[in-house]
Structures are given as structure tokens and as C-alpha cells.
Structure 1
């Protein structure tokens, strides 16, 4: 089996990344990526630019998105790959999911003002390429720029994670709806970076059981936030649930991301890569 350098998870400034889709495509190509997907949060407006640039570079490209889901009160992300971006139900579902972000952002700014950081909404907005997708990452960049914290990772630990003063929960899509939008549009649904979720073993088992029941087919085994223990754990889980294995850096920014595009190790030969079931987009 040929092990290709696939990177199937990254973000542009159409959501919370700092580069354009074209610049991401160029970076992926320069880093030796052979199959690439742009997976902005609840947004597919960058896909046309990404596809055009990838085609010009000779880089195989598949459509992608990362859908925000609420599962038993926890935010979980589901990546969709290889879908029809013009599918009506998918587009409507993503628009509805995006809808609550602006109100949440105002509530986060109010919460940060109460602990002494006024002007957070306007500050965060300066970092936003798409105002409908203002997120915690944009607030984090403003708090770094204003000297409150040294890095965005520090901001999340002290201000924006669950239980911290700037955290505001948001109810996203339901798991079944998100998987249904993706599969209904002809794509493959993948559980993104499962090692990041604060789920008990029983809750995690329930997540993957329900995900499979709804038609989900994949799990990210290799991703920027997974340590070696996570990789080993989710290799076994992929085999247990008969899931395709995905690989994606979750790259957001040259200055912030721990893992660059195309820099992950190879998947284990015991696993079936998700790209065996994907057909790259063609002109």
C-alpha cells in the first residue's frame, strides 16, 4: 500500500486560520502534501479558491468542513470530507450552525470585561476574516496582542476553556444532523481529534456508537493535538468500530500551530486510510 502524505484538516481565514485558502494550498504543496482538504469551521466559502489553487499546483484536493456539534453537553467536532458543496441541506445546516456565534461573542466580551479586559469584542473583530465565524481563537489573538498572555494556548488555559472567566458555552448542531448533512451530500464523516474531548470512557463509547449508527465512517488518528498515547488509543478504537483512519494537522497559523501541514507521521499499516474511499475533486 502506498502511504501518501495526506493532510485532511486545516483552517483558513474564512474561519479561524490566518492564511488564505490559496496560501494554505501553496504551503501544503511546498511541504510535500499529496492530498489536501480545507476544513473551515461550519463554513465552505473558501473551497472554490482552495480547489482552484490546488488544481493549478497539481495537488489533489477534496472538499472539507469541520462541523461543531454538541454531544451530552460537550462540544465535539465532526470533519466532513469529499462532499458536494452545493448540496442544499448541507449548506442550510452549516448556515444555522454559524448563526449563534455572534451572540456568543458578545457574551464572551461581556464576561472578559468583568475580569478587567474591556473592548474584547472590537479587539477580536479586528482578527476576523468572516464576522459570522468570530470565535474564541480571535479573542485569544487579541489578548496576546494586548499583552495579557504570551500565547494563544495560555489564553485558553486561563480565560477561554470550560470553567474559565471568558468561557461561554454554545449549543451547536446535533451529532445525527451533522453526520446526516455530510453523508447526504455524498461525503464521509470523521470524528475530529477525539483525544481533546473531556469524555469518560463510557461517554466516549457512546459517542462512537451513536456516530456509527448515524452513518459516520472515520476517525482522526493522527492530528496535531494527539500525543503518542492518543495515536495508539485511537488506532485500536478505529479497529474496534471498523472506522477509516484519517490524518490531518489541524493547522491554523504559522505562528500558532504546533504541527505544520504535511508534517505528521504515517498511519499504521493496520488501518484503512480514509483516502482509499475518497475521490479527489477534478475540474
Structure 2
């Protein structure tokens, strides 16, 4: 049981680090990557000894970096990274600053609409990588909207009253920082971006051209046809294949830890657990 994509409260997950690890252990996960958005705080917490790791659970250090590509937000996973690497730490700090600045601008727009208190709310969360999801939760909590979906449609999406565009790093910057930290750069959940087929192919091409290492082939809520398509792409491009639920909350049962299909045979030899550095962090995978 391998899950290489999960989140804690340090970004937009609902569980703290200790609770996430316990849930993973209870569900039989053997290797878990915590990949919070633009931060590695959960891994720093584990490394400090502040959180105990269950004996049967191997932790793969990771992060998920938000990037800008062709006016789209695209996520790049960094797996097996050195969490103390200076290049990666600098990029993550820049990304966190961009998040704070964007949240402040959104807060100003909300105040103009008569909804005050966002910054106080965000500071109370103890979150490193603030996002629009947290703003949406604030709007629900304040009774401004009834749901996070309504918060996005009315305030936070492109035509919303408080929309502020993100200013993320480029894909090449993310890949470079991940590799500088000794990690593997993987394109996250490729079918979730609103792209035409030609743009989808161009995204893959450009990701490979800048040195991307891997493709997230199997993840939650992925249909069988796309799983086959991604496995063929990984095999053809000689990309490592990763698997991950993109877990955020136990309430999202369709994205619970371990809810991923096995890799198709065509790319199974490229499973990330066959990477030369895998055994530095985890025991050899018992099941491919």
C-alpha cells in the first residue's frame, strides 16, 4: 500500500501530522508521502521528533509546488527531497510569501464588500501555505455564503468579486529546485487541468523538455481510460510512474488514503519505488 500524495493542516488538509500518520497506519499504508502545498513543515515536524511515526509506516519527504503554465495553475510534486536543501527552501519561502500577499489582496477586496476579519482568521489556523480554500472556509464560517463552492463562484474564481490572480513560479523553476534537493519532479494529477488535447500534449512535452522526471499515473477519482492513457505516456516518455490519493480530508471518502488503482502492466517497471533512491527512505515495495 503506497500513497505518495497527501496533505496536512500545514496546507489545505484537514488533519494534523500525527492524525494523518495514524490514519495511514490504520488503513494499512506502508509508504506515505506528505506533499503539502509549497511547504515541508510536516516533515520538519517529524524530523524534530515532535511527531511519532508508526513502526510499519515509511515516510517519503515531499511537497507539491504550484506553478504557472500557459495561464494555468499546474502542480508539480517533489518526492524524496532533502527538506533542508537551500535551493528548495528558498523557492518554498518565495511561494509562501506569494500566498500571503495574495491573501492580503483578497482580504482588501472582501473588506470593500463589507466582509472583514480574513487575516485574523488565517493567522488562527497555524497554516504555512494559505490558499483560496482557507478563504472560502472563512466566508462559510462568517455566513457570507453557504458552501465553499459558492464562495469560489461568487468571490474567488476568475469572475468573482474578490478574485486575485496567483503569481506562481514556472514549471522549470519547480523542477530545478526539486532536483537540486535530490528529489524526483512529478507532474501531479494531469487530467485535472482544463486543457484541450493539444494543450495537454504540449504540457507533457514541455514538462519533459525542462527535465521533469515522473508522472502521477494513478490517483483518486481517475477513470480507467485516462489511467491507461497516462500509463502509456509514462512508458513512452520513460517517466517514473507515481501513485497517490491527493488526500485532504476523511470526509472526502472518494479521495481517502490508499484509494488508487494499481499501475497498469505497461509502466509497472517504472514505478517510483524502483528508483535508485527509494530505499534511502522506504523499505522495498512488497507489491507493485
TM value normalised by structure 1: 0.87
The alignment covers a number of residue pairs equal to 277
Deviation larger for 229-238 or 91-100: 229-238
- Sort the Cα spacing of 1:91 and 1:232 in 2 relative to 1 into closer, same or farther, 3 A: same
CA distance in 1, matches of 2:246, 2:254: 9
Residue in 1 that maps onto 2:286: none
Contact 1:143 1:149 in 2 (8 A): yes
SS at match of 1:279: helix
1:233-252 aligned at under 5 Å gives the runs 233-252=229-248
Deviation larger for 133-142 or 251-260: 251-260
Measured after TM superposition, the shift of residue 27 of structure 1 is: 0.7
Deviations 1:155-186 (A, max 9, x none): 33444333333332111111111101111211
CA distance in 2, matches of 1:144, 1:280: 43
Measured after TM superposition, the shift of residue 112 of structure 1 is: 3.5
Deviations 1:113-161 (A, max 9, x none): 45554434434443x323x522111112222323444443453344433
Deviation larger for 117-126 or 99-108: 117-126
CA distance in 1, matches of 2:234, 2:158: 28
SS at match of 2:199: helix
1:48-87 aligned at under 5 Å gives the runs 48-50=44-46, 53=51, 55-87=53-85
SS at match of 2:256: coil
Alignment counterpart, residue 214 of structure 2, candidates 191, 214, 218: 218
Runs of at least 5 residues in structure 1 that lack an aligned partner in the other structure? none
Measured after TM superposition, the shift of residue 108 of structure 1 is: 1.6
Contact 1:223 1:264 in 2 (8 A): yes
Residue in 2 that maps onto 1:129: 126
Residue in 1 that maps onto 2:158: 162
Residue in 1 that maps onto 2:14: 18
Asked if residue 29 in structure 1 is aligned to residue 28 in structure 2, the reply is: no
Measured after TM superposition, the shift of residue 12 of structure 1 is: 0.9
Contact 2:21 2:53 in 1 (8 A): no
Runs of at least 5 residues in structure 2 that lack an aligned partner in the other structure? 283-288
Contact 2:153 2:159 in 1 (8 A): no
CA distance in 1, matches of 2:255, 2:248: 9
Instruction: State the Cα RMSD in Å.
Output: 2.5
CA distance in 2, matches of 1:37, 1:259: 15
- Sort the Cα spacing of 1:206 and 1:62 in 2 relative to 1 into closer, same or farther, 3 A: same
CA distance in 1, matches of 2:207, 2:14: 31
- Sort the Cα spacing of 1:54 and 1:261 in 2 relative to 1 into closer, same or farther, 3 A: farther
Contact 1:61 1:280 in 2 (8 A): no
CA distance in 2, matches of 1:236, 1:273: 13
1:202-281 aligned at under 5 Å gives the runs 202-256=198-252, 258-271=254-267, 272-277=270-275, 278-281=278-281
CA distance in 2, matches of 1:234, 1:154: 32
CA distance in 2, matches of 1:55, 1:94: 24
Residue in 1 that maps onto 2:187: 191
Deviations 1:59-117 (A, max 9, x none): 11211001111112211110000111121111111111211111210222233445554
Contact 2:103 2:131 in 1 (8 A): yes
- Sort the Cα spacing of 1:230 and 1:119 in 2 relative to 1 into closer, same or farther, 3 A: farther
Asked if residue 39 in structure 1 is aligned to residue 35 in structure 2, the reply is: yes
Deviation larger for 102-111 or 49-58: 49-58
